[in-house]
Amino acid sequence: MLQRHARRGGVRLSRAALVGGVETGGTRVRCLVGAGPDDVRAETTVPTTTPAETLGRVVEFFRAHAGRIAAVGAACFGPIDLDRGSPTFGRITTTPKPGWGGADVVGALRTLSVPVAFDTDVNGAALGEYRWGAGRGVDPFVYVTVGTGVGGGAIVGGRPVHGLVHPEMGHVPIARDAGDTFAGACPYHGGCLEGLASGVALRERWGAAPETLPAEHDAWRLQARYLALGVAVIAAVLSPSRIVLGGGVMRAPGLLARVRAETARALAGYVRAPDLVPPALGERAGVLGAIALGQALLTEHGYNSVR
Amino acid sequence: MLQRHARRGGVRLSRAALVGGVETGGTRVRCLVGAGPDDVRAETTVPTTTPAETLGRVVEFFRAHAGRIAAVGAACFGPIDLDRGSPTFGRITTTPKPGWGGADVVGALRTLSVPVAFDTDVNGAALGEYRWGAGRGVDPFVYVTVGTGVGGGAIVGGRPVHGLVHPEMGHVPIARDAGDTFAGACPYHGGCLEGLASGVALRERWGAAPETLPAEHDAWRLQARYLALGVAVIAAVLSPSRIVLGGGVMRAPGLLARVRAETARALAGYVRAPDLVPPALGERAGVLGAIALGQALLTEHGYNSVR
Instruction: Over range A135-140, report the average pLDDT.
Output: 96
Of B156, B159, B268, the CB nearest to A161: B156
Taking a contact as any Cβ pair under 8 Å apart, which residues of chain A between 5 and 64 contact chain B? none
Q: What is the pLDDT of residue B3?
A: 32
pLDDT > 70 in chain B, percent: 91
Of A191, A236, A267, the CB nearest to B167: A236
Q: Chain B partners of A149 at a C-beta cutoff of 8 Å? A: none
CA distance to partner chain B, nearest, from residue A75 (Å): 19
Taking a contact as any Cβ pair under 8 Å apart, which residues of chain A between 111 and 170 contact chain B? 139-140, 152, 154, 156-157, 159, 161-170
Q: What is the pLDDT of residue A305?
A: 52
Whether A296 and A303 have beta carbons less than 8 Å apart is answered as: yes
Question: Minimum mean pLDDT among A58-67, A76-85, B46-55: which range?
Answer: A76-85
B134-165: b (≥16 Cβ within 10 Å) or e:
bbeebbbbbbbbbbbbbbbbbbbeebbbbbbb
Compute how many other C-beta atoms are within 10 angstroms of the C-beta atom of residue B307.
10
Q: Do B172 and A271 touch (CB under 8 A)?
A: no
CA distance to partner chain B, nearest, from residue A62 (Å): 33
- A-chain residue closest to B158, CA distance: A157
Cβ pairs bridging A and B (under 8 Å): 146
Instruction: Over range B16-26, report the average pLDDT.
Output: 91
Compute how many other C-beta atoms are within 10 angstroms of the C-beta atom of residue B84.
11
Q: Chain A partners of B188 at a C-beta cutoff of 8 Å? A: 267-270
Q: What is the pLDDT of residue B178?
A: 85
Pairing of strands B141-146, B242-246: parallel
Greater pLDDT, A41 or B17: A41
Q: Does residue B301 surpass a pLDDT of 60?
A: no
Instruction: Over range B171-197, report the average pLDDT.
Output: 91
Q: What is the pLDDT of residue B209?
A: 95
Mean pLDDT, rounded, of chain A: 89
Instruction: Over range B147-156, report the average pLDDT.
Output: 93
- B-chain residue closest to A239, CA distance: B163
Q: Does residue B91 surpass a pLDDT of 60?
A: yes
A100-124: b (≥16 Cβ within 10 Å) or e:
beebbbbebbbebebbbbbbbbbbb
Question: Under DSSP, is residue A68 helix (H, G, I), strand (E, B) or coil?
Answer: coil
Q: Do B237 and A174 touch (CB under 8 A)?
A: no
Q: Does residue B165 surpass a pLDDT of 80?
A: no
Instruction: Over range A7-28, report the average pLDDT.
Output: 71
Q: Does residue A280 surpass a pLDDT of 80?
A: yes
Instruction: Over range A66-87, report the average pLDDT.
Output: 91
Question: Under DSSP, is residue A67 helix (H, G, I), strand (E, B) or coil?
Answer: coil
Q: Do B166 and A239 touch (CB under 8 A)?
A: yes
For chain A, the straight-line distance linking the first and the last C-alpha, in angstroms and rounded, comes to: 24
Q: Chain B partners of A143 at a C-beta cutoff of 8 Å? A: none
Instruction: Over range A38-47, report the average pLDDT.
Output: 96
Interface contact A274, partner B, CB < 8 A: yes
Whether A126 and A153 have beta carbons less than 8 Å apart is answered as: yes
Alpha helices for chain A (secondary structure H): 51-63, 105-110, 121-132, 193-197, 199-206, 218-238, 255-267, 285-299
Task: Identify the bridge partners of residue B88 per DSSP, sorted by sequence position.
Answer: none
Q: What is the pLDDT of residue A302?
A: 44
What interface predicted TM-score (ipTM) does this complex get? 0.86
The predicted model scores a pTM of 0.89
Give the model confidence (pLDDT) of A190-244 as tens digits.
889 999 999 999 999 999 999 999 999 999 999 999 999 999 999 999 999 999 9
Instruction: Over range A1-20, report the average pLDDT.
Output: 52
Of A191, A241, A268, the CB nearest to B189: A268
Pairing of strands B39-47, B28-36: antiparallel
Interface contact B270, partner A, CB < 8 A: yes
Instruction: Over range A137-145, report the average pLDDT.
Output: 96
Q: What is the pLDDT of residue B179?
A: 87
pLDDT-derived band of residue B305, with 50, 70 and 90 as boundaries?
low
Q: Does residue B285 surpass a pLDDT of 60?
A: yes
Of B175, B237, B272, the CB nearest to A234: B237
Question: Minimum mean pLDDT among A33-42, B156-165, B213-222: which range?
Answer: B156-165
Q: Do A168 and B239 touch (CB under 8 A)?
A: yes
pLDDT-derived band of residue B123, with 50, 70 and 90 as boundaries?
very high
Burial class of residue B49 in the structure, from the number of CB atoms within 10 Å of its CB (0-12 exposed, 13-18 middle, 19+ buried): exposed
Q: Chain B partners of A170 at a C-beta cutoff of 8 Å? A: 236
Q: Does residue A301 surpass a pLDDT of 80?
A: no
Question: How many angstroms separate the CA atoms of B176 and A151, rounded?
Answer: 24
Q: What is the pLDDT of residue A1?
A: 33
Q: Does residue B64 surpass a pLDDT of 90?
A: yes
Taking a contact as any Cβ pair under 8 Å apart, which residues of chain A between 233 and 252 contact chain B? 233-241
Q: Does residue B254 surpass a pLDDT of 60?
A: yes
Q: Does residue A66 surpass a pLDDT of 80?
A: yes
